[in-house]
């Protein structure tokens, strides 16, 4: 079995991959990754919460130029996952404005992005159209 590691700390792998965020216990603001204080209220107490696997595409852009080695074009978007804004690529869809629309329903998906010399596979995430 290949050992897998998530590309980011807030991606939880396993039988049911999902994202987690840090939620401010004072005001409810959510953040991906570590925080020392809340940008909304300056609170310092956080809890870990699971983010919905489904969401709605709020805005997007079709990226035509990227760093060397990154295949283009691709769709980058902001997904509203039940009230939490997630910045991610929209995958498994043609990067064409006729195929990608604001308001489209999406769900979280994971995919391999590379294997290192030790055989450890990095896993990334994106959102794909539902249906």
CA–CA distance, 79 with 102 (Å, rounded to integer): 9
The pLDDT assigned to 81 comes to: 97
62 contact partners, CB below 8 Å, separation of at least 6: 73, 74, 75, 76, 95, 96, 97, 100
**pLDDT tens digits, residue range 59-92?**
999 999 999 988 999 999 999 999 999 999 999 9
pTM of the model: 0.91
Does residue 94 sit in helix, strand or coil? coil
**pLDDT tens digits, residue range 16-72?**
999 999 999 999 999 998 899 999 999 999 999 999 999 999 999 999 999 998 899
User: What is the count of structural domains for the chain?
Assistant: 1
Which structure tokens are listed for 120? 């450890």
- Domain ranges, residue 86: 4-129
In this structure, the number of other CB atoms found within 10 A of the CB of residue 79 comes to 26
The pLDDT assigned to 1 comes to: 63
């Amino acid at each position: 079995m290949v050992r897998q590691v998530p590309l980011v700390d807030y991606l939880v792998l396993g039988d049911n991959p999902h994202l987690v965020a840090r939620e401010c216990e004072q005001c409810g603001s959510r953040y991906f990754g570590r925080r020392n204080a809340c940008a909304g209220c300056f609170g310092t107490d956080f809890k870990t919460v699971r983010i919905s696997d489904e969401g709605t595409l709020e805005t997007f852009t079709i990226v035509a130029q990227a760093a060397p080695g990154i295949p283009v074009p691709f769709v980058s978007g902001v997904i509203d996952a039940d009230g939490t804004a997630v910045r991610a690529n929209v995958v498994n869809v043609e990067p064409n404005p006729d195929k990608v629309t604001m308001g489209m329903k999406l769900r979280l998906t994971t995919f391999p992005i590379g294997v290192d010399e030790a055989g450890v596979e990095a896993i990334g995430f994106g959102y794909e159209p539902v249906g």
